[in-house]
Amino acid sequence: MRTRSRAVRSVAILLTLCLAAPQLLEARVTPTHGFDLFSAQEEIQAGQQAATQVPKQLPLLSDSNPITQYVQHLGQQLAAHAPGEKWPYSFHVVNQKEINAFALPGGPVYVNLGTIQATDNEAELAGVMAHEISHVVQRHGTRAASKQMAAQLPLAILGGVLGRGALSQMAQLGLSFGVGSYFLKNSRQSEKEADLLGADIMYDAGFNPQAMAQFFEKIQSQGGSRAPQFFSDHPSPGNRMEYVMEEVDTLPRKQQYRSDSDEFRQIKQEVAGMKPLSAQQIAAGQKQGGGAAGLPGADVTPAGNMRSLNHDDFQISYPENWQVFGDQTSAVTIAPESGVSQNAVAYGVMISVYQPEDPKASLDQATHSLLSSLRQSNPDLRQIGNDESIRVNGALGRSVDLIGTSPLQDQSGRPAQERDWLVTTKRADGSLLYLVFISPDKDFGSLRPTFEQMLRTLKVR
């Protein structure tokens, strides 16, 4: 009897192990942790403060709109499977045709109507939303802001901020999480983290995580005028499909995944006939639906029509209501008439040629040499984040985000914070053609689509 009892127990243990095998094989992605000055409550408050400004900058569909209600329902299904802190997620639809989505700290998630139009099934839309939810889980926005604050604050002050008061200190430094904020532009590492965690969220909600990678690769391969904004905010980490599928392989196999629903098909029919606003129309202050975005002065707002500048060193298109300062052989500034203040550029772009000391210097070396030169004449100019490789009309280029002091003043009478976007590319003679896109930080998000459109027309000679 004792032998039989031991045998029964052995069989029971074996059965238990077999039943537990899928869980033992499962290797879930856990939220990463990094340097973050913000408490969870401050993070929620920061996101809520930024969310109150979004309807003033972007046209949102109302919460009573069936499209918004569907997105909210799908978002809550996905958020129920998000690990870590239980953030107060909310979901909104932006009446904009460009393919994009973004998340504010602490839970607010925004999806462009153009993204819904571009998806072929519910799983693809779920992939975009799970990806954005993952940025919230990973606290990517406040972690990026914390790094910038640490770079700007003396150690003595930073020690007092650590763990409390980060939100008020951020405001004193003139930093924010508003639309177009640098802190909502994700790094490639952040994108990969959001992909992997998003894959797990999709899986738990019943969707095939492969749909997320397929959608991102689809819009990247198709390109077109609607995709660049997405990849400006979500730079491709490369090998998306490969590492997402590696993550899927660690999860228990499912016989069937959710792919579509009657609700999604109904919404797709509704959005198919809609004509959402373009980024340029929004920047020009046109209104539709629940909100509008625009710059404070009509004379600064770029016109929708473009004209071409043929320079000895390059060709570029620019808004027809902006002016060119300079001649065919010199450095030029393209700006609205009121964009030049106190003999300095407040809005616009400066284009020039830089000759590094070493004509054989690489693009990266020449760009950093140029940055050193620019800082000598602008001591308060600071780089934010890392410079990245981009394509400038097919040619290799470098992109660098900078913060400086604007010639304009803020409401308190102090100098406003300026956002500068430096783009460089090599010429055949080894010199560097560079562009500096300039705007007060609060308006940069509205102007960026115009700056990107100008960059896409650039031809180097």
Q: What was the pLDDT predicted at 117?
A: 94
pLDDT band at 286 (very low <50, low <70, confident <90, very high): very low
Q: What was the pLDDT predicted at 158?
A: 46
Q: What was the pLDDT predicted at 25?
A: 38
The mean pLDDT value for 247-264 works out to 89
CB neighbour list of residue 170: distance below 8 Å, 6 or more residues apart:
46, 145, 149, 176
Integer angstrom CA distances of residue 29 from 46, 246, 251, 294: 26, 12, 11, 40
The mean pLDDT value for 70-86 works out to 95
> Which candidate, 342, 339, 389, 333, places its Cα nearest to that of 363?
389
207 near 77, Cβ under 8 Å? no
Q: 167-201, pLDDT tens digit by residue?
A: 666 665 666 676 766 566 677 888 889 899 999 99
234, 97, 346, 185: CA torsion to nearest 10:
-10
Instruction: Look at residue 8 and tell me whether its pLDDT is greater than 80.
Output: no
pLDDT band at 390 (very low <50, low <70, confident <90, very high): very high
The mean pLDDT value for 223-229 works out to 53
Tokens found for residue 361: 């210097």
132 near 193, Cβ under 8 Å? no
Q: What was the pLDDT predicted at 54?
A: 86
Q: What is the CA radius of gyration of the chain?
A: 25
pLDDT band at 285 (very low <50, low <70, confident <90, very high): low
Question: Which burial class, exposed, middle or buried, applies to 12 when counting CB atoms under 10 A from its CB (0-12, 13-18, 19+)?
Answer: exposed
Domains and CATH numbers, the chain: 40-272 (no CATH), 306-460 (3.40.1000.10)
296 φ/ψ sector (left φ>0, alpha ψ -120 to 50, else beta): alpha
Instruction: Look at residue 293 and tell me whether its pLDDT is greater than 70.
Output: no
198 near 209, Cβ under 8 Å? yes
Instruction: Look at residue 321 and tell me whether its pLDDT is greater than 70.
Output: yes
Cα 302 from chain centroid? 22
Averaged confidence pLDDT in the chain: 80
Q: What was the pLDDT predicted at 202?
A: 94
The mean pLDDT value for 46-64 works out to 87
Instruction: Look at residue 395 and tell me whether its pLDDT is greater than 80.
Output: yes
Q: What was the pLDDT predicted at 357?
A: 84
Whether the predicted model's global pTM rises above the 0.75 cut: no
Q: Which amino acid is at 205?
A: A
Q: What was the pLDDT predicted at 162?
A: 47
The mean pLDDT value for 296-318 works out to 83
Sheet containing 306-310, strands listed edge to edge, beginning at the edge strand earlier in sequence:
306-310, 314-319, 459-460
